[in-house]
Each structure stands twice: as C-alpha cells, then as structure tokens.
Amino acid sequence: MMFDHSKNTQTKIIKAWREVVNCPDTVASVYDCFRDVGLDQMMNLTNTLNMQGLYMLPIADGDFFPDSVETESYDLAHRFDLMAGVNGQEGGLMYGMEVPMIAGMLNKSTENGVDMEIIDTLLNFKCSIVTPLSPELCATFMKNLYKLEEPTCDKERARRLCELQGETLFNFDTLHQLEQHSSSDKSTYGYLFTENYQPDPPNPLWTVPDWLKTQADHGDELAFVFGATLFKSGRAKKDDLWERIMNSDAAFADMFVGNWDSDKNKDKEIEYEALSRRMMTAWTNFAKTGNPNKPVALDIAEEWPQFTNEEAKFMELNLNNPHVIDTPHRERLHSYKNHIMTARRRMVDADRPSSGPAETDKTGGHDEL
C-alpha cells in the first residue's frame, strides 16, 4: 500500500509505453495507441517494463483517486473489520524468482546459497526502484539492517536475504495497514502462518531449495484456508462452482487447492485436515462476526487477541503449536519504514501537483496509466 508513483515516474512509464507500442508523439493520448494491442502482447509488454522497475501501480490522479492511494485505501478500510497476516517465509516467492535471474546474469550457482556479489547486484537493482535515495546508500542500509555481510556461510546469507525480500514486500505493508486500521472503531486481527507446507508435486511457479525453506512460503496458506486435503481426499463435496474454478486454469488450481498427492501422504493428510478445519473456522467466524474466535470455538488454547498499536499481538497459526506472539521483527520493519519508505513518500508528495487534478492531454483525457 505504500507504493504510489511520483509524477516523474508516471512520465517515465508513459514514455516507456509509447516506445514499446510504437506510439508516435503526434498521438495526444497513449490510450489511443493501446486500442490495437492484444491482451497477450499487453502482458508481455508489462513484464518487459516490470524488469525495468516501471511497475504498473495505482496512481493518485486527482480524479479516480483524489488523494494518495494509500490514504484513500486506508480510509475506506476503516469502515470494515480487518483480519490480515503473512506467512513465515513470504520471501520464498521473490527469492525463487529474483535470485536465479541475478545469479544467471553473473554466471553463478546458487546451489549452496548466495555470495555478496549476488546480494549487491540484487539490492542495487531493488533500491533504484523503491527509494529516491542513492542505490548505494540504500543497499548499504539494507545490508546493515539484515546483517547480510555477517555470515561466513552462503546458506545463512541466503536465509537472511529471503527474510529481507519477504519483509520489505509483504510484512511491512501488512503491519503498516494493521497499525493504521487499529485506530478505527472496527476490529483488527493479525496472524502469522508458519506451517512448513511442502507441496507434492512442488510449486510449479517458483522453486525454493529444501535447505532454505523452513516455514510457509507465499501462498501456502491457501491450501488450508480452502480445504485442500478435504477436497483431494473426497471428504468434501465439489459443487459446480468449485469444478469451474478448478478447471479454469491449472496453475491457479494448484495454488488455490494446493499440490497434494493423497496417496503419498495419508498420515500427513489427516493432520493437515485438522489444521485446515481450524483455519476455515477462524476465517468463516471472522466473516460472520468480525471476530475469528466466535461463534464456533477454535481448538486453540489461547484466545486470538485484537491487534493494537500498544501491544501489537499476532496469532501464530500452525499444526502443533498455535499461540499468541508479538509482531515479528516490528522494530526492524519500522526502521525500514523510517529510512526507506518515508523517503519514497516524501518524493511522491513533493512531486505531486499541489492542487487540482492531474494535467490533461490535448483531447481532455488523462495521459496517465
């Protein structure tokens, strides 16, 4: 939610889009050049721009989003109860995608972890996107914050890099939203899902080495929230809607219901069914009442507390030891916010027109994305 393009970045994106779709300067609005671009080509072009750090993100244009995207979203969310959380190893997603790409560029192997050259290259690329600070200064700050130069073992360095990737992309925004929302008069709950779920067959979209994965990766909770083991074992009825969702896209179905071979995992299947029922109960309780603890009792020894800025409690969810915890690495996440994201916010605010809607093109439409 902290992402919101500055005017300068918007201009760069518009210029890049004009170039990739061969949109001449004589055409007033870049939208006119989009009309003949097919969906497949548009997706390929989007991926090309993403590799350049020109991500397609919401923009506060003074029209659809009259204020900053962040403020607008949080103000709307204050009308509703909120339950939000993260998985124990969210960084597996970005590690599995970014690290092989960077290592390939450097002709290096990541079989036994990552060295500082891979980390320096990756951080300088990421820092050039997320902050107006010098990429070198930003990278140095991040290396110090996560103590990346401290380990003598490349595998331990990889573990810390994975933490950085997960916390800066997922955990920071989640904590920020929980802190913002807890000032409202609606309920606020946070969770951390840590079960080390090992899909079988493996995740088809990205790969995390077995020696690195110790907790739930990004998306691993979906198999439990939506009852994967129950459907795979045939103990839950599959209605027409479920069948249509599962048949729509094989990769999506794997993420949604989980990669799970019931014939190979009979013992684990029974255990995971209990965890799935616990999580489905919490989610449906919250949907009904705004409170994951009721009306159906959870099989957890402690009551799931509301998140407040004073205590900042999460419920850690897993198979054998669900319990209440303090927000993981809250001080580190606040340090990231104060040093990196605050600089980004100041850049966006300073670069935005002081009043009125965004500039319009010659046809009266917004030449923005």
Query: What was the pLDDT predicted at 82?
Result: 95
Domain boundaries, the chain: 1-60+357-369, 61-351
User: How far apart are the C-alpha atoms of 227 and 203, rounded to whole Å?
Assistant: 17
User: How far apart are the C-alpha atoms of 309 and 222, rounded to whole Å?
Assistant: 28
61-351 topology per CATH = Rossmann fold (3.40.50)
Count Cβ atoms within 10 A of the Cβ of residue 60 and give its class: 0-12 exposed, 13-18 middle, 19 or more buried: buried
Identify the bridge partners of residue 326 per DSSP, sorted by sequence position: 313
User: How far apart are the C-alpha atoms of 99 and 105, rounded to whole Å?
Assistant: 10
User: How far apart are the C-alpha atoms of 69 and 349, rounded to whole Å?
Assistant: 11
Query: What was the pLDDT predicted at 51?
Result: 60
Name the strand (E) or helix (H) holding 214: none
How many angstroms separate the first and last alpha carbons of the chain? 17
CA atoms within 13 A on the CB side of 71: 8
DSSP state of 337: I
Query: What was the pLDDT predicted at 272?
Result: 85
Query: What was the pLDDT predicted at 37?
Result: 80
Q: Exposure pattern of 206-221 as b/e (b: 16+ CB <10 Å)?
A: bebbeebbebbbbbbb
Query: What was the pLDDT predicted at 358?
Result: 41
Query: What was the pLDDT predicted at 111?
Result: 93
Collect all residues with Cβ–Cβ distance below 8 Å to 56 and sequence separation of at least 6.
Answer: 13, 46, 49, 50, 369
Using 50 as the pLDDT threshold, list the residues of the chain that sit under it.
Answer: 1-3, 355-369
Beta strands in the chain (DSSP E): 82-87, 188-193, 313-317, 323-326
Query: What was the pLDDT predicted at 95?
Result: 95
Query: What was the pLDDT predicted at 235?
Result: 64
Collect all residues with Cβ–Cβ distance below 8 Å to 24 and sequence separation of at least 6.
Answer: none
One-letter amino acid of 191? Y
Q: Six-digit token pair at 239?
A: 């209605």
Query: What was the pLDDT predicted at 127?
Result: 82
Q: 61 vs 12, 27, 48, 205, 353, CA distance in Å?
A: 16, 21, 24, 34, 10
Query: What was the pLDDT predicted at 103?
Result: 94
Strands 82-87 and 188-193: parallel
User: How far apart are the C-alpha atoms of 347 and 9, rounded to whole Å?
Assistant: 10
Task: Find tokens 């092989």 and name the residue.
Answer: 100
Give the model confidence (pLDDT) of 189-214 as tens digits.
999 999 998 876 677 778 899 999 99
Closest to 170 (Cα-Cα) out of 132, 220, 210: 220
User: How far apart are the C-alpha atoms of 200 and 21, rounded to whole Å?
Assistant: 41
DSSP state of 89: B
Instruction: Dihedral sign for Cα 8, 10, 16, 18, please.
Output: negative
